[in-house]
Amino acid sequence: MKKTVSVVIPAFNEAENLIVIIDRLEGIFKNTAYEAEFIIIDDGSTDHTLTILKTMASINTKLFYIEFSRNFGHQLALKAGLDQAKGDCVISLDADLQHPPELIIQMLEKWEEGNDVVYTRRSEDKSLPYGKRKSSSLFYKLINVLSSIQIEEGTADFRLMDKKVIDVFRNFEENEPFIRGLVQWMGYKQIAIDYIPHKRHAGTSKYNLRKMMRFALQGVTSFSIKPLYTAVYLGFAFSMLSVLYIPYVFYSVYMGIEVDGWASTIMTIVFFGGLQLIIMGIIGIYIGKMFMQTKNRPNYIIKSTNFVPATTNTNYDIAQL
């Protein structure tokens, strides 16, 4: 009996890439001993992504689509696909073809050798702008310094996971899942494969610097309370810096070049006012995450799908809300 492989692809405004990537994937699995299903999640696209998905699914019985009621983000789109996957292993990759589909053969070989998770490490692409490369490097350094897990630089959401790993993963109901961190945190037998990213086939990247920083903060606050300790250390550091300002205050008063009371007021505002805002912001992030989690809202809402019979969890099915 053939083993089955589920391929999960989140898609946000990827209309120009869908036909190409499915064609490439079918060509890869055609000459293998595996049965493949393709699950594409439309994450609230505003282009013709959904129309193309429905058309393709009408003629391809191995292609399944999930339509979100709005844009819930890449990580939740990926989780929705993993929740639905029925294969003996699940492979996730992006729709823009920067993750080379041909690497799947090597990933399956590593899986057959007994590895539960086969993840990929992106080699540095010298053709990318300097700022993009440095922001990506900073992303991983920030997570590794401030969180309790260690993620190798270049690791992304292009990976293979065994069915038993997926069964555990489905139990997670975090409001803001950081999937590459969760996979690392779960353990199991993992192995890496290095690859050189291809150029995006069509469209533009959805991750700018602002989104990368937000993603990094999401990852850090999901796995560690180190930022709270860092806030305490900052308190001590700024207090010590304020002491260094005292000689200048005395000098200014002695020379008569400052208005009485002005220097001490500015010193207090600059050092302690800013420090309080930083600490309150850090604490606020954690409280906000707790607030959203306790609401117990569905992580995503499925507007439509061609899974028959419907296999959506009733907690996430719009028909049950």
- The reply to whether the predicted model has a pTM over 0.85 is no
Looking at residue 311, what is its pLDDT? Answer: 46
CA–CA gap between residue 72 and residue 66 (Å, rounded): 12
Residue extents of the structural domains in the chain: 3-129+153-206+297-320
pLDDT tens digits for range 43-67: 888 888 889 899 998 888 899 999 9
Q: What pLDDT shows up at residue 298?
A: 81
| Residue 157 pLDDT | 83
Per-residue pLDDT, 46 = 87
Q: What is the CATH number of domain 3-129+153-206+297-320?
A: 3.90.550.10
Task: Say what the pLDDT of residue 123 is.
Answer: 76
Which segments in the chain show pLDDT lower than 50? 201, 310-321
Q: Calculate Rg over the CA atoms of the chain.
A: 24
Beta strands in 70-211 (DSSP E): 89-92, 117-122, 155-162, 190-195
User: What is the structure's pLDDT at 2?
Assistant: 80
> Are the C-beta atoms of 172 and 186 separated by less than 8 Å?
no
pLDDT (0 to 100) of residue 318: 38
Residue 30 confidence (pLDDT): 87
